[in-house]
Amino acid sequence: MAEKLWDGRFDIPTDKSVERFTSSIATDSRMFREDIEGSIAHSRMLVAAGILSSEEADAIEKGLREIEKDIAEGRFVHDDSLEDIHMHIESALTEKIGDTARKLHTARSRNDQVALDVRLWLRRETEEIIAGLHALRRAFVDLAEAHMGVPMPGYTHLQRAQPVLFSHHMMAYYEMFTRDAERFKDALKRINVLPLGAAALAGTPHPIDREMTRRLLNFPMVSANSMDTVADRDFVAEFLSCASICMMHFSRISEELILWSSSEFAFIQLSDAFTTGSSIMPQKKNPDIPELVRGKTGRVYGHLMNILTLMKSLPMAYNRDMQEDKFPLFDGVDTLKSVVDIYIRMLPNMKVLSERMRTSCEKGFLNATDMADYLVEKGLPFRKCHSVVGKAVAYALSLGKELQDLSFEELKGFSDLVEDDLFEALSVESMINRRTSAGGTARENVQKAVDTAREVLAKEQV
């Protein structure tokens, strides 16, 4: 039986069922590198504090590096009696180098040790997600530039509203995922805080140098309050909040790709490499990737609610409930990273059916607002223009026609302000390119947005 860290206080051994119930090694073992990195930094700081000798710190580091290699190469044996990865590594180190290993835990607790490992792990994962979002945003810009000038119906209430450029639509998602990247970068400020040195909750009487540890582990700052340090999981909730918003954006584009790839829309074709078939219907080509992404969004939302519910009633400072933060965090990270990766691969292989998009812009009275704007420019108040065009639409509907299919005389019958130049104003290209207001869908605006995005992406460090 492995020796417990608290054996001195107890008269009888821990029940096996308790060991199984309290064990988290199956979940937190993935933080072994972070645990070893933190322990090596802590040992070096203990040398500077006069608590360890240089020889002892060297032995500790050598032993920890051997353990790291054993774990990485699958030679490390896990035991529920040791509960978590931190106790496993400490126990293995004691077997390797003897009592020197028992000095390593001086001036720290598992409370601040765990907080350190999670922050180190999440810092790296967040940086990788930001890098993934950089590549994703570039994929949207590439799509926008490759299909510049292709019109498509813009929708409100899922009803055809006004024509926009497909490139404009893609750049809308560039903006969404840019905000996501900015949120993760900002969250990284709260993740990137050194907790080690808070000990159990009150700090330590030993002459430690937290600034030295901060520098060794590349943290910009040290936590300010020892109680808050070990009680804090705000950074986990904040990360999952950012992840949930990001997944919401993925779910929205997934819904559009599902619709657009249907026969009813037929705006795009997803590559065969990113679709599946039916076990019974030979003709089917199913958009399973977007559907799964849409489904996984709820999974990440659930992880956020898990953390918020976990933390909502905990008194200061550390409570064992907080062991349950690992699964929602780890799975939330894994899910988001897998979605970012699959979209980076899927988007460049998507075929845009530009002719179908264009012809769809010519039906459904997408030019009704432009006729109203035309009359405004002729001097008619907008509310009167709205009424005039509404009557023209009703008349065209009764004939089974579009506005541009009506004759000049028919359109003139609704307003004496109508001239021959109305038909040019009702064309798809005119409707799009006249919308030059900042952020509008005019081609010159969209090209400028693409150029600006390329400059931004080129300057970002990932």
For residue 276, what pLDDT is reported? 93
Q: Give 16's pLDDT tier (boundaries 50, 70, 90).
A: confident
277 within domain boundaries? yes
Mean pLDDT value of segment 111-127:
97
53, 262, 278, 338: the active-site residue: 278
Q: pTM score, two decimals?
A: 0.94
What average pLDDT does range 21-42 have in this prediction? 92
Domain final residue pick, 49, 80, 106: 106
> Do 354 and 438 share a domain, yes or no?
no
Residue 6 scores a pLDDT above 60: no
Least confident segment among 21-35, 196-210, 301-315, 375-389: 21-35
Is there a contact between 310 and 301 (Cβ–Cβ < 8 Å)?
A: no
pLDDT score at 8: 62
CATH code (residue 441):
1.10.40.30
Average of pLDDT values for 87-116?
Answer: 95
Is it the case that residue 292 has pLDDT exceeding 80?
yes
Q: How many domains does the chain divide into? A: 3
Asked if residue 4 has pLDDT above 60, the reply is: no
pLDDT in tens, 195-224: 999 999 999 999 999 999 999 999 999 999
Residues 76 and 138 in one domain: no
Which of 234, 208, 236 has its CA nearest to residue 222?
Answer: 208
Q: What integer pLDDT is reported at residue 7 of this predicted model?
A: 61
402 inside domain: yes
Distance CA 80, CA 321 (A): 18
Residue 438 has pLDDT above 50, yes or no: yes
Report, as an integer, the average pLDDT of 128-132.
98
Share of the chain above pLDDT 90, in %: 91
Let me know: does 134 contact 181? Beta carbons within 8 Å: yes
254 is catalytic: no
Within a domain: 319: yes
Domain final residue pick, 359, 378, 410: 359
Question: Taking 50 as the threshold, does the pLDDT of residue 1 lie above it?
Answer: no
Task: Check whether 2 has a pLDDT greater than 60.
Answer: no
> Per the residue annotation, which of 157, 263, 313, 407 is the catalytic one?
157
Write out pLDDT tens, residues 240-287. 999 999 999 999 999 999 999 999 999 999 999 999 998 999 899 999
- Nearest of 453, 433, 442, 351 to residue 140 by alpha carbon: 453
Q: What is the mean pLDDT of residues 395-402?
A: 96
**151-156 and 159-165 as β-strands: parallel, antiparallel, unpaired?**
antiparallel
Binned at pLDDT 50, 70 and 90, residue 9 comes out as low
SS3 of the chain: the string is CCCCCCHHHCCCCCCHHHHHHHCCHHHHHHHHHHHHHHHHHHHHHHHHCCCCCHHHHHHHHHHHHHHHHHHHCCCCCCCHHHCCHHHHHHHHHHHHHHHHHHHCCCCCCHHHHHHHHHHHHHHHHHHHHHHHHHHHHHHHHHHHHHCCCCEEEEEECCEEEEEEEHHHHHHHHHHHHHHHHHHHHHHHHHHCEECCCCCCCCCCCCCCCHHHHHHHCCCCEECCCHHHHHHCCHHHHHHHHHHHHHHHHHHHHHHHHHHHCCCCCCCEECCHHHCECCCCCCCCCECHHHHHHHHHHHHHHHHHHHHHHHHCCCCCCCCHHHHHHHHHHHHHHHHHHHHHHHHHHHHHHCEECHHHHHHHCCCCCCCHHHHHHHHHHCCCCHHHHHHHHHHHHHHHHHHCCCHHHCCHHHHHCCCCCCCCCHHHHCCHHHHHHCCCCCCCCCHHHHHHHHHHHHHHHHHCCC
Asked if residue 215 belongs to a domain, the reply is: no
Percentage above 70 pLDDT, the chain: 98
Domain residues for the domain of 430 are 364-459
- Per-residue model confidence as pLDDT tens digits over 47-71: 999 999 999 999 999 999 999 999 9
pLDDT, residue 10, reads 66
Contact 111, 198 (CB under 8 A): yes
Q: Is residue 213 part of a domain?
A: no
